[in-house]
Each structure stands twice: as structure tokens, then as C-alpha cells.
Chains A and B, each alone.
Chain A
Amino acid sequence: MILDSKIPAGPLAEKWTKHKFNMKLVNPANKRKYDVIVVGTGLAGASAAASLAELGYNVKAFCFQDSPRRAHSIAAQGGINAAKNYQNDGDSVFRLFYDTIKGGDYRAREGNVYRLAEVSVNIIDQCVAQGVPFAREYGGLLANRSFGGAQVSRTFYARGQTGQQLLLGAYSALSRQVANGKVKLYPRTEMMDVVKIDGHARGIITRNLITGAIEKHAAHAVLLCTGGYGNVFFLSTNAMGSNVTAAWRAHKRGAYFANPCYTQIHPTCIPVSGDHQSKLTLMSESLRNDGRVWVPSTVEMAEKLRKGQIKANDIPENERDYYLERKYPSFGNLVPRDVASRNAKYVCDEGRGVNETGEAVFLDFRDAIKRDGEDTIRARYGNLFDMYQQITGENPYQVPMMIYPAVHYTMGGLWVDYNLSTTIPGLYALGEANFSDHGANRLGASALMQGLADGYFVIPYTVGDYLAQIGPSPVNADHPEFDKSIQEVNDRIQKLLSIKGSRTVDYFHKKLGKIMWNECGMARTAEGLKQAKADIKALREEFWKDVKVLGENEELNQSLEKAHRVADFLELGELMIDDAFNREESCGGHFREEYQTPEGEALRDDENFAYVAAWKYLGEGQEEELHKEPLEFENVKLTQRSYK
């Protein structure tokens, strides 16, 4: 199959406008004849479900949480980018586009990214109209800050809880449509399979998490807004329930999976404290605006710190190494996430880590507090400082924070074309679940932008084009494909419950996480990846022989839920390894140790690897097939990223 990205022809700035005109429309009176399924209720899902219902489509929205308001978008802290140029500091749609392409290390599509930058300005208008309380200046207008690798102030924020406020905005729009009867909500419901009829996605199979009932739902189109797969690493900043299951089942039904190895390791997280750790907590990267990252200049000094013989504040200025400011004078502490993370790893590998485990660096607010006063810093980051103190028991107004990188976001995901359609017609992927806009590295404050862009402003047009083409003949779940799928889901549940082995699901999940973090984390090598592939295969076999899942299907059974998700992670992990092995270059979050510049920076190979790697599932136990979508750059020149 030739992957057709369907990027419209013509100048970059006119592509989306022209495409919107060329797409077919569904007559207003006919919209009520179409049913659309939306899986996931985060920023992408809630905004899509609400917008489609407003247009008149009948929407069914599913989430595994007890309420759509819990989706993990809620935890995003820092902000959302938009090319409003309210600050008169030189921002523009083209600059946001350019920064995003460059930040993604030239591994994203120009057309998609430009559209993202273009609609970013509408998102802010929409959210403000909903009553989202963004930060404001004394004159009553919106405030901005600069964020994660941008040299303009284009980030809109609501203290350190921007994701929460945006999600509650989208949730309110969704709730309004539930009240209007245009959206039917299915909370505590997990998608177990996609049903295809004559090659088109025509519905899903779900499990009611309270009763265990396996149910079928038919629709004219299915939208997967199910987030990322960072929990394959066990420890990540994702919510405990975040999983790849919906996307993975779609993949096994024929949707290609693109760039699975592109993982973002976020530089500012609270370090691991012990084996009991269940998740990692992110400290918003906005902290890098005022915090300075450092470690002691010498290993000896770091050892004293680790043994508790001295405290951070005892170390004199001339024995501190502000390594980001030293190595990257023009960006300093604001270098992109992948660069900041890798450098933290380097200094810790050198033995200059600052906590007991040796895996932490300082993020110090001493100078900012001296400059702006404690009250100003509290107003900016109060909730983050409180959270830090709550978790670590230390007061960051008095001692520097300790941070270390953690898995945070996955740029890879289901392959989609310009219309957000996967390789299965009628099946769409939005937000973090798709691969399309962030290339090999996502810039800060761009995830919220993409989720809402896809849901509010892209999918209402593109899904309409598809629906207009297939026509409004009714769909129902009587087709035998639905029953076949139900049978497969039931068989799998019975298999999981009947193994009655000796190891818990978490045992396998933790083991998988360790393999992935060590060999497919911040730095990767061919040799390590080969070993990891063998280890995952062995672990997967062990899982299916020895996992212990108690209870029954016909009840709330959290072990069974986890077992399903971990079984899928065990398959996805291997594909991530394959993808990382195939990509013999370093780009963005994918760093192959064999491919680096003499200064230790990522070394891309544009001649051989300027493509999207899209993987096709061929069947149980078979190697997946690689399809390449070449990336063409007409508007930006590919350069070595430099933040020096």
C-alpha cells in the first residue's frame, strides 16, 4: 500500500483554506442521520464529540474513567501555544510552524504543522468564550509567557493548571450536548476492538467495566482520541489508566502505527524515590523560565552531597556547573526537552548526580527569588512548589528542587493522513493517539494545542467530507462481523482468567518498563535493542503462561482491566524496539548512541531517514512490515538543530 498523506497542493498558507472549500459538506438536515463514535474524552475527544454534536451528528462518547472530566489531559500544567502575537514580539503563524517543525527535528509534515499553527489562534478564542479563566494582565487582557524552547511569548496559561481548565472547558461543551441529547456518554467503558465491514470501520466492541458486559456499537465513523502509550515504560508521568489498547486493537485490524519509537522524555520530573514508585510526577517546564539547572562541578563535591555531608546551599557559586547555560548560551535553561533531558543524563552518568540514587540534578530558584521576590515566584508557580513539597517533604523556596527526566509523551501513534484518517477508512485518530504533528520531539505547550486543534477545528470538516461520500444509509450492529469480534474478545478474557499463574500483572508491567527504559529510553544502541527484543518476547511468553488474574469478568475487576492493557503493551514494546532499531540516526527524542556529533548532539541522516516509518501488522508472531512515507520540505531548510 502506498501511503498517501493527502496533503493538498498549493502554497503552504493556502492549503487548509482550499482544502476546506474542496471538501464535501453534509446537508444540515442529513447530519442527524449519521452516528459517530468517539473513544476517549480528553482534549481531543471531548472537543470533537462536542463540536460534532453541535453540528447535528449523533455522537456516542466513551471513556474508561468514571467521568469524562478525568481524562489525563487534565494534568497538563504549563500552557497552550497560539500564534496570536498579542505581545508584539515577532510571533506569527509561520514562526510557530517553523519552531514546531524545527523542534520536531524535521520529522513532521509541513502541511499538518502549518495547519496546526493556523488554527491555534481560534483555539484561544474558543476557550475564552467558554469561560476558561486564563491568566490576565492588570489591564484585563490575556497574559503570555515564553515556554520550552520558544524565543517569543506565545504561551497562554492558567497558573500551573492549564490542562485542567481547557479540559473542563471542553467537558462543559460536551456536557451541554449530553443535555441536548446529541451525545450519549459511556463512562467506565473500555474499547476492546474495532469492527470493520467491507474494509471500513463501522463500530466498536466495548466492555462495561462495572458489569463486564461485552457490547457492540455501530456507527458511520469511529474517532480514536485515546492518548499516548507512555505507560509501556511502567513509570511515566501518564495517569495509571492511560493505555494503548484502543490504538493497538485498531492497529491489529489494519491501521498502520507510525514512528512508535519517538518518545518524549521530560526533563523536569520529581526523581524516583524507590521500588514502590507507581508513577512519576512532572514539574511543569515553565519552571525553567526562572529556575536554573545545575550540578556540582566536580564528582567529589557530588559525592559529598549524596552522602549528606554537605547541602546544596553550601556549595559556592564557582563550584556549580550551570551546564545548560554553559553549553547553550543563547537558549540556556530553555533548550528543548530532548536536549535538556539528555544533558541531565550525561552529568549524572559522569557521577555528578545530586540525590541518593545519583539520578537527579538541581533546579534552583535562589536567584529568581532574589531578583523578583518570593511573592512573585509564588504567584507564578505556587501550586507546583506546594506539590513538590507535598511529595518530597522539602521546601523549594529554601532549597533547590531536585529533578530528573521521565517518560512524558509519545510522538508516535496511529498513522493518519491530512484528514486525520488512519489507513482504515472511517477510522480517525486525534490528539496524542496519532503521530502527525510533533515529528521526533514535541515542543512544550503544543500537546494541548494539537488535541484541541484536531477536535474543534479539523475533524468537524474532514469527517464530514467522508460521511458525505459514504451517504447516510443506517448502520446497525447486526452484521456477523460484530459477533465475530465479540467472540474474540470473550475468548481473550477467558484465556486471561484461566491462566491462574503465579505472577501479578504489575510484576510483568514493571519488568517490561525496565527493559524499555534501559534500552529504548533516553539513549539506544543496536546491540541493546536486539537484546531488548529477545527479552520482551520471553517476557510475553511468560505472561501468557504465568499471569495471575483473579475474579471474574462479570464484575468490576481492576486486575482484568490491567491485564488487557499490559498484554497490549507487551506487543507494542516490541514494535517500538523494531522501529528504534530500524532508524539508524538520531533525531529529537530518538537518540542512537552510534549516531552523534563530536559534541554529543543528535546526528540526523536526512538522506536516508527523512521519512515516516509506518508499520503494518501481519499477524500473531510475525514481524511487522515497514512502509515509508517520505517527508518533503518545500518551505523550511533542513539544518542541524542548534541551540548554542
Chain B
Amino acid sequence: MKLTLKVWRQKNNADKGGFVSYPIDGISKDMSFLEMMDVLNEQLTEKGEDPVHFDHDCREGICGMCSLHINGKPHGPQQTTTCQLHMRSFSDGETITIEPWRAKAFPVVKDLVVDRSAFDRIIQAGGYVSVNTGGVPDANEIPIPKKIADEAFDAATCIGCGACVAACKNASAMLFTSAKISQLAMLPQGQVERKDRAEKMIAQMDAEGFGACTNTGACAAECPKGISLTNIARMNREYFTAAVTTENV
């Protein structure tokens, strides 16, 4: 395959950045998208040009590190992570536009690399059950109906890649935040801190500068792990319940 890559280049956060076009040839349909980027970088390096920086690690769709906005869609045309996207999804002669995630809360570090530490801070605000190591009950003393365990699991599969934010016209992090709130709200282990958790995580989400949700559902449509919009509904309910009820005894 012969392609033209229109790639966002930005030296660092202070730089304005812009698109640079690179023609590329000899791409096989069996390559993953990132392997195609490897080929580009080998060629650039050989010519003495700075290779394109992008985040990636496991390359099997689970670590959530890869993050390219391809032809206007996070992770490209398929509902997968970029590392699982293969060149058979593109046609010969195509021009492919590659950009970083665009969101105020995800500042660009260099080229296609962005800073997603805001997600870590949202989890730090309450995305856990406060148990110390040791001193916990036997695992089978907490029976959980299979249906609920499965629902919680579906929410827990979020990989924290940020595609939901990138897909959203408001750069909202509702899908990410709601996945964790929902997982723990459904499980018996999460009950004790349920209200506090919803309030604190949402407050942190707002403080990071993510936008509001207008229920267009672009996030769920682009989520490589198929995290459902139901989680946002659950989070809204959790937030509302927390606001109108009290823990005071």
C-alpha cells in the first residue's frame, strides 16, 4: 500500500504545532497501525529527521496507552484501540490524518503524546474501596449475584485511554468517571463509601477542566472496550442520591 500521512507535529507543550505530510510506501495490510508508524519512524530516523512521538506499550489492546486520533476518530475507523487497528482497514492511496487527543485537560506533551494524568487524579479522589492489606473477610463470605458481578465487570473493563474525552465535543470525562463509580456502586464492597465516592470523583473531574455531558453518546460509540452509556445514567443517579440524602446518624 502507498499512503500519505498527515501527522500533527509539535515540539513541546509551548510550541504551536502543525501538520506535516509524509508519503509512505510498501505498507502491508497485515501490519498494525502502530507497526506502520514504526516503519515511518525508521525511515525518518534514517533520513536524520526527528521520529514522530506517540504513546504505546502493550500493543494488545489492554494497557490503554495508545491514543491516536485517526481521520477524525479516536483510535481510527474501528471500535478498537489503535494498536489493534490493522492496515486492512485502509485503502491504497489514502491520505490518513493523525492527531493527538484534543482536550484542555489533556495537554499535548510532544507530537501525538498527551498528558492524561487528570484520569489518575480522578481515581485518587475516590476510585477505590478503602481496605488495607490483610484483615479482610474470606473471599466467599461476600456472595455477589452473577448478573451484578457481570455488570460490574463490564464497567471495570475501562482501560483509561481517554478516547471518550477525545470523541466528545465537550471533552467530557463522564464515561471514564462513571465506569469506576458504577462498578463500585453495584458491588457490596463499594457500599460504605458510595456517596462520598460519587461526590469526590465528580468534583475532581470538574476541577480538571473536563466539559459537561450533553448525552450525545459519542463517547460510548468510540470506546474501544464498549463501556455503556448506562454507566453515565448510574453516575447521575449516584450523584443525585448523594446530594439529597445524608450519612449523618
Residues of A within 8 A of B (CB): 47, 50-51, 54, 65-72, 74-75, 84, 86, 122, 124-131, 133-142, 158-159, 161, 163-165, 168, 171-173, 175-176, 178-179, 185, 187, 210, 237, 239-241, 273-274, 276-279, 281-282, 387, 390-391, 393, 456-457, 460, 504, 506, 548, 550-551, 555-556, 558-559
Q: Is there contact, CB below 8 Å, between A126 and B59?
A: no
Closest CB pairs A-B (n = 9): A140-B143, A172-B128, A129-B136, A133-B153, A128-B139, A51-B133, A239-B57, A179-B124, A239-B58
CA distance A282 to B61 in the complex (A): 12
Q: Is there contact, CB below 8 Å, between B146 and A140?
A: yes
Q: Is there contact, CB below 8 Å, between B129 and A75?
A: no
Question: Known contacts being A131-B190, A133-B152, A240-B57, is A391 close to B86, with CB within 8 Å?
Answer: yes
Residues of B within 8 A of A (CB): 11-12, 28, 30-32, 34-35, 38-39, 42, 45-46, 48-51, 53, 55-65, 78, 80, 84, 86, 88, 109-110, 113, 115-117, 119-120, 123-134, 136-140, 142-146, 149-150, 152-153, 156-157, 159-160, 183-184, 187, 189-190
CA distance A227 to B138 in the complex (A): 29
Q: Is there contact, CB below 8 Å, between B84 and A387?
A: yes
Question: Known contacts being A130-B131, A136-B146, A550-B50, is A277 close to B123, with CB within 8 Å?
Answer: no
Measured between C-beta atoms, what is the minimum distance from A188 to chain B in Å?
8
CA distance A354 to B234 in the complex (A): 49
CA distance A138 to B133 in the complex (A): 28
CA distance A178 to B57 in the complex (A): 24
CA distance A180 to B25 in the complex (A): 52
Apart from the given pairs A126-B134, A131-B152, A133-B183, 13 other A-B contacts in the complex at a CB distance below 8 Å: A66-B116, A72-B58, A84-B139, A134-B139, A136-B149, A175-B123, A179-B125, A179-B126, A240-B58, A278-B38, A390-B86, A550-B50, A558-B51
Which residues on the B side are within 8 Å of A131 (C-beta)? 128-129, 152, 183-184, 187, 189-190
Measured between C-beta atoms, what is the minimum distance from B180 to chain A in Å?
8
Measured between C-beta atoms, what is the minimum distance from A391 to chain B in Å?
7
Q: Is there contact, CB below 8 Å, between B133 and A54?
A: yes
Partner of B133, one of A50, A163, A171, A185: A50
Q: Is there contact, CB below 8 Å, between B38 and A506?
A: yes
Q: Is there contact, CB below 8 Å, between A69 and B57?
A: no
Q: Is there contact, CB below 8 Å, between B128 and A130?
A: yes
Q: Is there contact, CB below 8 Å, between A65 and B133?
A: no
Which residues on the A side are within 8 Å of B51 (C-beta)? 550, 558-559
CB-based nearest A residue for B122: A175
CB-based nearest A residue for B65: A70
Q: Is there contact, CB below 8 Å, between A173 and B120?
A: no
Question: Known contacts being A126-B136, A176-B128, is A278 close to B32, with CB within 8 Å?
Answer: yes
CB-based nearest A residue for B36: A276
Question: Known contacts being A75-B63, A86-B140, is A130 close to B86, with CB within 8 Å?
Answer: no
Q: Is there contact, CB below 8 Å, between A72 and B38?
A: no
Measured between C-beta atoms, what is the minimum distance from A445 to chain B in Å?
16
Give the one of B117, B133, B153 with max A CB within 10 A. Answer: B133
Q: Is there contact, CB below 8 Å, between B56 and A240?
A: yes
Which residues on the A side are within 8 Å of B124 (C-beta)? 175-176, 178-179
Q: Is there contact, CB below 8 Å, between B133 and A74?
A: no
CA distance A74 to B157 in the complex (A): 11
Q: Is there contact, CB below 8 Å, between A273 and B30?
A: yes
Q: Is there contact, CB below 8 Å, between B143 and A133?
A: no
Q: Is there contact, CB below 8 Å, between B113 and A556?
A: yes
Measured between C-beta atoms, what is the minimum distance from A378 to chain B in Å?
13
Question: Known contacts being A129-B189, A273-B30, is A75 close to B62, with CB within 8 Å?
Answer: yes
CA distance A72 to B12 in the complex (A): 27
Which residues on the B side are within 8 Å of A187 (C-beta)? 117, 120
Question: Known contacts being A140-B145, A282-B60, is A130 close to B129, with CB within 8 Å?
Answer: yes
Q: Is there contact, CB below 8 Å, between B65 and A124?
A: no
Measured between C-beta atoms, what is the minimum distance from B30 to chain A in Å?
5
Question: Known contacts being A67-B119, A141-B143, A504-B46, is A558 close to B53, with CB within 8 Å?
Answer: yes
Q: Is there contact, CB below 8 Å, between A391 and B84?
A: yes
Give the one of A457, A548, A556 with max B CB within 10 A. Answer: A556
Q: Is there contact, CB below 8 Å, between B117 and A65?
A: no
Give the one of B48, B131, B190 with max A CB within 10 A. Answer: B131
Which residues on the A side are within 8 Å of B144 (C-beta)? 136, 140
CA distance A282 to B90 in the complex (A): 25
Question: Known contacts being A74-B63, A175-B127, is A556 close to B139, with CB within 8 Å?
Answer: no
Q: Is there contact, CB below 8 Å, between B156 and A168?
A: yes
**A–B pairs, 28, beta carbons within 8 Å:** A70-B57, A129-B136, A130-B128, A130-B189, A131-B189, A133-B153, A135-B149, A136-B145, A136-B146, A137-B146, A140-B143, A158-B156, A165-B153, A172-B123, A175-B127, A187-B117, A240-B56, A276-B35, A276-B39, A278-B32, A278-B35, A278-B38, A548-B45, A556-B53, A556-B109, A556-B113, A558-B53, A559-B45
Give the one of A65, A67, A127 with max B CB within 10 A. Answer: A67
Partner of B157, one of A86, A129, A164: A164
Question: Known contacts being A457-B133, A504-B45, is A171 close to B146, with CB within 8 Å?
Answer: no
CB-based nearest B residue for A70: B63
Which residues on the A side are within 8 Å of B11 (C-beta)? 555
CB-based nearest B residue for A71: B63
Which residues on the B side are within 8 Å of A241 (C-beta)? 57
Q: Is there contact, CB below 8 Å, between A159 and B153?
A: yes
Q: Is there contact, CB below 8 Å, between B48 and A550?
A: yes
Question: Known contacts being A140-B144, A164-B62, A550-B50, is A172 close to B30, with CB within 8 Å?
Answer: no
Q: Is there contact, CB below 8 Å, between B84 and A506?
A: no
Which residues on the A side are within 8 Å of B153 (C-beta)? 133, 158-159, 165
CA distance A54 to B128 in the complex (A): 14
CB-based nearest A residue for B27: A276
Measured between C-beta atoms, what is the minimum distance from B144 to chain A in Å?
5
Measured between C-beta atoms, what is the minimum distance from B193 to chain A in Å?
10
Measured between C-beta atoms, what is the minimum distance from B1 to chain A in Å?
12
CB-based nearest B residue for A129: B136
Which residues on the B side are within 8 Å of A457 (C-beta)? 133-134
Measured between C-beta atoms, what is the minimum distance from A558 to chain B in Å?
6
Q: Is there contact, CB below 8 Å, between B59 and A278?
A: yes
Measured between C-beta atoms, what is the minimum distance from A643 to chain B in Å?
29
Which residues on the B side are within 8 Å of A134 (C-beta)? 139, 149
CB-based nearest B residue for A132: B156
Question: Known contacts being A175-B123, A456-B133, is A387 close to B50, with CB within 8 Å?
Answer: no
Which residues on the B side are within 8 Å of A86 (C-beta)? 140
Q: Is there contact, CB below 8 Å, between B65 and A65?
A: yes
Question: Known contacts being A72-B63, A558-B51, is A66 close to B110, with CB within 8 Å?
Answer: no
